[in-house]
Structure 1
């Protein structure tokens, strides 16, 4: 379905052409003076010199060719040559009716679907998720849903960290605590126990303890480094212990991601790249892409046009050990082979910008990716506390993500119980839905690359630009539709656009609501092209605001004209569908009651 702006531009372009002028100048835009008009075209100004005519005269010629337009109601020329335009209400109502009959609500899927891999997990195995994991999970989930909605084949990859120093730290700490376990006996040849030697809660205590030791005891840290290398090199007992760590950690990670409404299509791990690395290194050497620098194997990626220092991409350390660069490149090799990736998106911290630039350059220079494969670094800013510094617990530590979720749910629950008469159990379930919306909307409403302040009181407010306000709007519409259905002795499910017609708007607030609704496809396509969920947030806040103004100024259910009442019902039903589709793309849902 064509975007409204495109239809308006085509109408004006036809008039430019009919009047004998260059139609490429006939771009229509939203008016920067909404008090004067809804849309405007400034093309006559640009044509004045070429046409040898005053802009006002050109604009008048164009307007004469639109006298019979069914798309525009009011068309006016304003000196020195602006064309002010207002949309015809009947045309607008017809556009919305078509939108409502389309499962995609007027959004056209991409003509050439892509294979897109989104790397947005990055959690480390054996460590609980903390607030630092929030943004990658929330932003990545929304990007995944938007790309899939547009018709692409999308794979969300958790890409867990299971191959780093934390595994060595846990191994060495466990060996000090329980040296009798068979995993530490290099001469042990039997079968290792199927049950892990620790629970998830014990593992949650072992790692922080080991990590603290490593900062205070260099010998302990060196043992951990050695153990990490032995895990990677396949030491039998250590590998068996490593598998236990994975098996215990994964269910807990999945549970925490589930609580965030985040899911992955592939639970990839750093270790998956291990078997790929030798062949990749051989390919890089044989292709003449590598050089040796201070004993390390590197690929030079600096270009003559660079104005900043770009380090080489290191493939192997001087001792032959691999790095993150190595595993990330090998993972790209895997994604090209297994997924035939057209686009790989990394949702990671802004501070990794330079690192990914070197990896991407290396992947392109060495032809690991196709020429037309897109590699996108979607960096995000920091979630800060009220003091403007990275968010911490009251005692200054890094807050666990499940504690943050619980804290926001409890705050919403207290608010519900304070203002509503409802059972405690229902309030708790509703609080989870609203809390998740508050948390996700609070994050996503900010441009991903920007830092933002986590303000729990602001985020859970039922007024203003917040998730609960959006949900409250949806619930309000549900309530109206339910009452209307009851008056017909029918079900809300039977109230769609079948048999309903949207009439021409008869008030300014009604038309304003319709104009906002009609922008949905434009907003979604723009959010997809720019990988920008915050644009959907801005849109649904505007739509919710305009609906609530319409609601307060319009007697919907008490309207005496039955055809007008049915038109109102069709209109707000479309608002509900649009809001529900939008919040799904953002990664949350609305309750039935609030």
Structure 2
């Protein structure tokens, strides 16, 4: 099923061509003056120069061809050469009825499915998720869902940090605290315990303590570096501890990501790329991609067209140690081998843009990644407090993500109990869904690259551009449909349930619904969940205006009433599909 704007454009293009003009001048856009018309075509203004004709003359010729078209209620040429378009209500109703019948509302899935790896989440093991992990998880999850909905094969990878000095610090601190553990007995040859010698709470305290201590005790830091070296070279006891750290951490991470309704297809780790590093370095050397710079092994990635300094991509330090660059390149090698992706998208803090520019250039220049593989860095902005600075707890610390989720759920629960009578248990269950909608919509409604202010009072509001407002609209529709079903005993949706209309608020609602396919494709092409947020806010507003102006349940004309029910069920289904793509769901009541 074609996008509605494509259907309109086709008619205009044919009209331009019929009058001897290039059909490309017939491209239609949404009107920037919705008070005057619904769509517009400015092609006559562009064509005027090419054909040495006044734009209004060209516009009038095109309009003359289309004045009998059943697609348009009104089409007119306006000085100096705009073509203003309003759709015929019958055409619009037919389009919506077709959406109702079609799978995915008629969205045409791609005929050329791509394999896309999305790298998002990126937490380090042995540390709790904090607010800094929110955006990567929420944005990445939504983009994964949008890409799948568009018909692509998507692989979401959490990409855990598990292989650096932090592991050595944890092992060293454990040895200091529990020196009698069997893992530190070099003569031990038996099986190691299945049970970890620490809980997640202990583990989360051990790392920051070790990290802080290492800053003022150089001998401790050296010991941690040595422990890291031994781990990375297969020390049995350290490997067993490392596996405990992983298992305990991943169990906790999964629990917290589940609260965010975020999931991953792969729980890959930095360490998974390690086996690929030796061959990769040998390949880079043998093919003369590398050079030595102050003892370090580097690849030059600067290009002649650069207007800013792009440093070389370092592969090995002067002491032979690997870096994040090395691991990320090896991870690309692993992904190429395992999945042969057409695209790899990284959802990362925008402050890492230069780093990824270096790594991407290095991967392409050295042919570690095929030339036609699209590498995308989607840098996101910071979540700030009302003071405009990165969001902190009241005492100035970094807030755990679990605590942030609980705080917003509690605020929603309190608000619900103040305004309506409901059993406490039900209210708590609902508040989790509403709280998640508030949190995710509050984040995703902003363009990913922009910073935004986390304002809990605004985010949990049931009015305005918020997640709870969208959910409340869905719940309102559910309530209307339930009352209609109760009074009539059934709901019948026929092939032509939605009827033409001359009611302005109904036409506005129908127009908004018809834009669904266009919005989803644009959101996919631009990796832009905020487009979906903007769309469903406008759709919810259009529905609520229609609802307040028309008494659906009290309507005596049964044919009209049935048409309205068919229309609002379509609106409900579109809204529910969109929030599913954003990563949250609506309760049955609020």
Question: TM-score if structure 2 supplies the norm length?
Answer: 0.98
Give the deviation of 1:277 after TM superposition.
0.9
> Superposition pairs for residues 472-487 of structure 1, below 5 Å?
472-487=472-487
> Superposition pairs for residues 29-44 of structure 1, below 5 Å?
29-44=29-44
How far, CA to CA, are the matches of 1:123 and 1:314 in structure 2?
23
Give the deviation of 1:101 after TM superposition.
1.1
Aligned to 1:525: 521
Aligned to 2:536: 540
SS at match of 1:250: helix
Contact residue 29 and residue 41 of structure 1 kept, 8 A? yes
Aligned to 1:551: 547
How far, CA to CA, are the matches of 2:251 and 2:520 in structure 1?
34
Aligned to 1:103: 103
SS at match of 1:276: helix
How far, CA to CA, are the matches of 2:582 and 2:45 in structure 1?
41
Aligned to 2:173: 173
Give the deviation of 1:500 after TM superposition.
5.4
Aligned to 2:235: 235
How far, CA to CA, are the matches of 1:565 and 1:461 in structure 2?
31
Aligned to 1:83: 83
Q: 1:79-100: CA deviations, max 9, x gaps?
A: 2222221110000010011111
SS at match of 1:73: strand
Contact residue 75 and residue 84 of structure 2 kept, 8 A? yes
Contact residue 385 and residue 391 of structure 1 kept, 8 A? yes
Q: 1:317-374: CA deviations, max 9, x gaps?
A: 1111111111111110010010111100000001111111111111101111111000
Aligned to 1:573: 569
Q: 1:242-293: CA deviations, max 9, x gaps?
A: 1111111111010000010000000000000111111111111111111111
> Superposition pairs for residues 157-168 of structure 1, below 5 Å?
157-168=157-168
Deviates more, 1:163-172 or 1:85-94: 163-172
How far, CA to CA, are the matches of 1:144 and 1:349 in structure 2?
18
SS at match of 2:404: helix
How far, CA to CA, are the matches of 1:198 and 1:44 in structure 2?
73
Give the deviation of 1:51 after TM superposition.
3.3
SS at match of 2:103: coil
Contact residue 500 and residue 570 of structure 1 kept, 8 A? no
Q: 1:424-462: CA deviations, max 9, x gaps?
A: 000000000000000000000000001001000000000
> Superposition pairs for residues 23-422 of structure 1, below 5 Å?
23-422=23-422
SS at match of 1:486: helix
Contact residue 101 and residue 495 of structure 2 kept, 8 A? no
The unaligned stretches of length 5 or more in structure 1 are none
Contact residue 105 and residue 517 of structure 2 kept, 8 A? yes
Q: 1:389-413: CA deviations, max 9, x gaps?
A: 0011111111000000000000000
Deviates more, 1:38-47 or 1:265-274: 38-47
Contact residue 101 and residue 497 of structure 1 kept, 8 A? no
SS at match of 2:408: helix
RMSD of aligned Cα (Å): 1.2
Aligned to 2:3: 3
How far, CA to CA, are the matches of 2:336 and 2:492 in structure 1?
44
Give the deviation of 1:67 after TM superposition.
2.2
SS at match of 1:261: coil
How far, CA to CA, are the matches of 1:438 and 1:533 in structure 2?
15
Give the deviation of 1:307 after TM superposition.
1.2
Contact residue 385 and residue 392 of structure 2 kept, 8 A? yes
Deviates more, 1:296-305 or 1:140-149: 296-305
How far, CA to CA, are the matches of 2:195 and 2:51 in structure 1?
84
Aligned to 2:440: 440
Aligned to 1:561: 557
Q: 1:179-220: CA deviations, max 9, x gaps?
A: 111211223222222221111121122122212212232222
Contact residue 72 and residue 85 of structure 1 kept, 8 A? yes
Q: 1:458-490: CA deviations, max 9, x gaps?
A: 000000000000000000000001111111224
How far, CA to CA, are the matches of 1:245 and 1:412 in structure 2?
35
How far, CA to CA, are the matches of 1:119 and 1:501 in structure 2?
44
Contact residue 500 and residue 566 of structure 1 kept, 8 A? no
How far, CA to CA, are the matches of 1:116 and 1:468 in structure 2?
32
Give the deviation of 1:231 after TM superposition.
1.0
> Superposition pairs for residues 428-467 of structure 1, below 5 Å?
428-467=428-467
Contact residue 122 and residue 161 of structure 1 kept, 8 A? yes
Contact residue 156 and residue 264 of structure 2 kept, 8 A? yes
Give the deviation of 1:496 after TM superposition.
6.4
The unaligned stretches of length 5 or more in structure 2 are none
Contact residue 437 and residue 589 of structure 1 kept, 8 A? yes
How far, CA to CA, are the matches of 2:172 and 2:56 in structure 1?
81
Give the deviation of 1:52 after TM superposition.
3.8
Contact residue 121 and residue 136 of structure 1 kept, 8 A? yes
How far, CA to CA, are the matches of 1:101 and 1:256 in structure 2?
38
Question: TM-score if structure 1 supplies the norm length?
Answer: 0.97
SS at match of 2:310: coil
How far, CA to CA, are the matches of 2:368 and 2:51 in structure 1?
52
